[in-house]
Amino acid sequence: MSKNFEGKVAVVTGAGGTLCSVIALALARWGCKVALIGRTREKLEKTEKAILEAGGVCRILTGDVCDEASMQQIAKEVAEEWGPCRFLVNGAGGNNNRAITTNFYYDPAELSEDKPEGMVGFFDLDMQIFESVVRTNTIGTVIPVRVFARQMAKNGGGSIINFASMNSYRPLTRVPAYALAKAGIVNLTEFLATYFAPAGIRVNAIAPGFFINDRSIKILGSPEIGLTERGKNVMRQTPAGRFGKPEDLMGCVEWLLDEEKAAYVTGITVPVDGGFLSHAGV
């Protein structure tokens, strides 16, 4: 394990989530002091418990990543207690089931007066929910960068990881808001990498393939409870033949954050997808 993490301050947004809770635990095991950020303290407490049991150092700070004043207050508290942020993992985000269509393609029935019960087409989507998905995933990345990269720039640099998606490469059916947001994350990552290079700040992104969490299991199913038709389609498209596990991300996270191993790496988005993007489907 690289010693480049020892004693450094890491900030993880969405630290109560399936993937970022494991990332936060890994950072603590690597020697970082980890600030756990999320909206719900209860979720963060599970991550905190795992870190403390492993002998790590962490602190819970609740706040909305789309609220810049809240993030500024959190950044101030972190800096006063531990010093400036060196590593930022922007894991807050996700989709909302009410921003998902039931239709894979346009169906004239969605405009008819006797539309089938339960049908949700593009024209039926609640625009407030749609906007909230886009805002959480985009502005919820921009604001933590504005706040914590300021500390990095003043103190000799740092490394940032944003979260992209398979939707960043091609828009998957049924999830237009999420696809729109995650395509933007790749572009934002490239912009930030260019902009912050003079400050010694590297900015990269990870694009996870299909990992099971509380939300995705409702759409994909799982090997344990059975796959939905969409889940079966994903498996047919994934050469590795399984869904991802949070631990599958850790090697990529460690590499991208490490200031020696990835010193010349910035502005890229790395798919960790079991080969999903490489499979043409035929």
pLDDT, tens digit, 9 for 90 and up, residues 94-128: 999 999 999 999 999 999 999 999 999 999 999 99
Q: Are 168 and 269 in contact (CB under 8 A)?
A: yes
Q: How many CB atoms lie within 10 A of CB 246?
A: 19
3-state SS, residue 252: helix
Tokens of 108: 């004239």
The structural domains of the chain, with segments of one domain joined by +, span 3-278
Q: Is 178 among the residues known to form the active site?
A: yes
How far apart, in whole angstroms, are the C-alpha atoms of residue 277 and residue 169? 8
Length of the chain: 282
The one catalytic residue among 105, 106, 169, 178: 178
**239 — phi, psi (to 5°)?**
-55, -30
pLDDT of residue 211: 93
- Whether 24 and 43 have beta carbons less than 8 Å apart is answered as no
Mark out the alpha helices in the chain (DSSP H runs): 18-29, 41-53, 68-82, 127-154, 176-196, 216-220, 229-237, 250-257
Q: How confident is the model at residue 225 (pLDDT cuts 50, 70, 90)?
A: confident
Residue 260 has pLDDT above 70, yes or no: yes
Q: For position 223, what pLDDT does the model report?
A: 84
Confidence of residue 1 (pLDDT cuts 50, 70, 90): low
- Give CA–CA dist 186/214, Å, rounded: 25
Decide if domain 3-278 falls under CATH 1.10.10.10. Answer: no
DSSP string, 117-182: TT---GGG--HHHHHHHHHHHHHHHHHHHHHHHHHHHHTT-EEEEEE--GGGTS--TT-HHHHHHH
